[in-house]
Amino acid sequence: MDNRLLNAQSTKIASWLKDNGYTSLVEWGLDSDYCMDDDGIWYDDNGNAVDIFSQAYYAMEAANESV
């Protein structure tokens, strides 16, 4: 992935998290019913490994579309 795109996405997610009262991606992930194991791997309710950054990005996009 292009680092410029990743940086832009990271900046958008950080702003969205802050606007929604979260101090970190970890806080959002735990509040969104994802869980993290001792190795730092995130899982959804079905036990599937997920990329928490991507999940937050999709949630942000969905929230922005519904406004």
Helix (H) or strand (E) holding 42: strand 42-43
> Domain range spanning residue 41?
3-65
How many separate domains does the chain show? 1
**pTM exceeds 0.85, yes or no:** no
16/48 Cα distance (integer angstroms): 25
Number of helices (H), then strands (E), belonging to the chain: the values are: 3, 3
pLDDT given for residue 7 in this prediction: 83
16/4 Cα distance (integer angstroms): 18
Ranges under pLDDT 70 in the chain: 1-2, 5-6, 67
